[in-house]
Chain A
Amino acid sequence: MKIRCWRIWLMAVGALLAVSAAAQNTPLSDRVVAYQIEGTYNEKTHTLDATELLTYTNKTGTQLTRFPFHLFLNAFQPKSTWMTEAERTGQRDAPKGAGWEDKHFGSNEVKSLEIVGAGDVTKQMKFISPDDGNADDRTVFEIALPKPLAAGQSIQFKIHFVAKFPEVVARTGYKRNFLMAGQWFPKVGVFWNGTWNCHQFHASTEFFGDFGTFDVKLTLPAKWNVGASGVQTGAKDNGNGTQTVSFHGEDIHDFAWTADPATKVVEDSVRLSSGTVKIRMLMQPGHMNSVHRYLEALKGTMHKFDEWIGPYPYPQITVVDPPHGGGAAGGMEYPALFTAGTTWWEPNWYLEPEVTVEHEFGHQYWYGMVATNEFENAWMDEGINSYTEVKIMDALYGKETSYVNSRLGTLSERGLQRMSYGAAPDRDPAARNAWQFVDGSSYGGITYSKTALMMLTLESLIGEKTVIHGLHQYFERYKFKHPAPGEFTAAMNEAVGQNLDWYWKQTIDGTETLDDRILTASSERLDWYSEAPEKKGVTVYHNEVIVHRRGTFDIPVVLEAKFDDGSVVRERWDGKDRWHRFAWDRKTKLVSAEIDPDHGNLLDRDPFNNSWTEKASGKASGKLAGYWTLVTQWLEQALGWLA
């Protein structure tokens, strides 16, 4: 009997495994594109000579008459839109006015373009500048089809191109023998919301692509370590000092690869609800002391995403550690691969490597799977990802110590986001094309930080678990899709069972800022006309706190008042006016009052005016003034060496 039971169980488990295996072969995404690319890398000229066969299946439901393509590497030329913007407003790795250096020249040169079955159409390529009309920008070209592509039909483009990599800039390029090849191949735009979406490359923008499959075969110097999106499917020593390695990736919308003869490969794995995921890290030899930090952060992050948001569906994640001087390649996400960043001297108390690993892995969800349009809605990937970054870093490294954890001081992730938002809180709404922000400070402060603070503050309104549940539901609905902002807010509203449009309108579409403060607080005798002496427990006081709203952001307010008999009162104001008077007539006097006593409203720009204490405490001001005096003394002495 027992034996029979075991057999039945074994058969059932076998059947389940078979179903599971079959399910794994089912595409996770609408595979619109299939790229097959073969190229040879010349390490001396930093060029890749390649052919690309792109099969595009028209799943738009309408006929297509033209196709736009990105040529991102053409951004690294003096007259391009990217370079012009970088020079005028700065970019992530260089301040404005950094000037042009020839080593940063990059290009994507299309040698020939053929539509399979229709012949060579190279001469019909036309560069367009849909965003700014810059005739010198060659980051987007368009091709008109000889005949329309009907819905449901496929078309194949065969492109011979040469990619010339710059010395590393904006996440792509070489540094000595290291190469990070991102945005390196002619990439078709996305037909989205009824039209082609193919923006020029801007200094502040990232990317947008259709899901599909990538089969990439690269020939490069033998013994170089190679990593790429997807998994390695083959490697061959060509016997002439070169090797050819092949990779396959599916249900991804971009493909990046890296090569470096110096890196050390570290392999590990992590067990998640979706199965075992292989971790492959390409480390710089001088950075091996950061391996355990990377791994701890990565595994912790993967577990938290698995628990809170959803399963990681790919079999592998590749982590690239850029070399010294190659920091511009660091901190960047690609499907199933990301670049981190550390140094040989990285102090343990400074959690930047951990934050980078967390953030870039988080993009596997917010960009990788929920593939929002980074050109137009950067807050949807960077901002939501910054929110999960705060949550996960808090969970892994402590709420107050998740960015800096030293004896001298601490800095939390949420503190970091508040600082960044506070620097430029009202110049741009989150819902703005990434290249149209006034400057990098506003772009970072709003796109990343304001969105993170928006989600964190939402926790104080509807609860932490509800927000995470909403995000999980949003992920499940829009993974392997391209949701727009309205789809995010609608999904969240539905998941949390509330209409939060009043909130989204202010935080996403608006530039309203918030600074609630205690304007006055007092305790006066109710019988102010009486000449009898005050008597504790007998005299009745009129206690009053006036809360004033300095900004124009409407949000409910909770006030906590404490009295001298130890009693505590919490009251709520709907926040629909410029100010509100809280008043209590009781036999106790007010000793303190605090707006947002749970410290959940992180959009409030100034936490120092949120509270009032009847008794002054000079501890903090004395401490800081003491240090200020000391710094002045030391500066005096430094200058005194001239005497």
Chain B
Amino acid sequence: MSKTLFDKVWDSHVVHRIKNGPDVLFIDRHMVHEVTSPVAFLGLKNRNAKVLFPDKTFATADHNTPTINQHLPVKDPLSANQLKALEENSKLHGISYWGLGHKKNGIVHVIGPEYGITQPGATIVCGDSHTSTHGAFGAIAFGIGTSEVEMVLSTQCIMQPKPKKMRINIDGKLNKGVTPKDVALFIISKLTTSGATGYFVEYSGNVFTEMSMEGRMTVCNLSIEMGARGGMIAPDKKTFDYIKNKEFTPKGDYWTKAMKYWLTLKSDKNAIFDKELDFDGNKIEPMITYGTNPGMGMSISNGIPKTINQNSGAKTYLKSLEYMNFNEGESMLGKKIDFVFLGSCTNGRIEDFRAFTEMVKGKKKSPNVTAWLVPGSRKVEQAIKEEGLLSILEEAGFELREPGCSACLAMNDDKIPAGKYALSTSNRNFEGRQGPGSRTLLASPLVAAAAAITGSVTDPRTLY
């Protein structure tokens, strides 16, 4: 029978099928961070249980860490306590822990691929909804809650009903200034934040096959923002080249054997999806959000949609615009920006820093803008320095911070003040997401760079 890529990976990981219930799915890789794990470890302690497969479990500190002066003790006692808990729990259970200051430290979804922990055909979970990122390698990767973190720590399995399957196909040639982030924001604006709930998405079409691995990660990362549990892209030569010779990828004969399996990882010709959508890549423009969920996005040169044209309730829509202090019909171009945030598991990889740097090269940061440039990992930070990007950024008036999730969720001190506008390359523009009362506009690193230079929302195509 013809199978989709998703079916192939899922079915090969089912340990046990519960009648009229969920499947018991074996998990190959479990990523753990400081915020969603302590209560899970506490649960293990209360059960007198151990981590079943410590070598399939990887821990890092990212959500609740400072992005300056990481060599100093963490000031906030609650954050320090959470980091200490993860360090102790990792030690107790024999899990490798890449904590603050470790040379492999970084955002969980950035470091997984960097060290080859992320592999095609694997099942990967983490107590974080953006685990969908790893789907870029043809893995089934999705976010889980803390009870499920405890479940995976103690049994290496998770109970999940098999989701439905959706394929999103985009062919065409992306226009200049259009990045993978724009493609993702475009899809979400069409589907809304609940349009793919209950589905696992496969992205296909030449727009995705021509994308770099970093770009594919950005797209898969944002799958959750349309409600999908995860998204995946069939692995190809680009995927294999990216992971070859990484620390945790198979070597020698094991590589050859793995390749044999990985080459089978694509949807069969006649495979059936529960839903198929097609979009035209030629028509995508640089995108920006104007509201308080990632589905409220549009082409940067459009006007804010009228309430009357909304599917969601008028009351909710107007509440959102009121929070942003925007009016329907208005253009976003020229709107004043107070902060620019480049970073996160969505756009904190080297390619994002290259794009940003290219745009600001030879120009100066607007004096009205506070810019936070936060690499996704130590490795990204190192590459920024080695490739000479740092000196270009500094010349243009920017500073580089240390790795972490930072202002994406503002658990640490990187908070946007109430009422201020932040143009962010992150993934969520919810009310208060980047600090109580903060207002977020989501966009690509190029749009972020253009705003950092001009101090207002600017179409990056006008700056080339």
A binds B: no
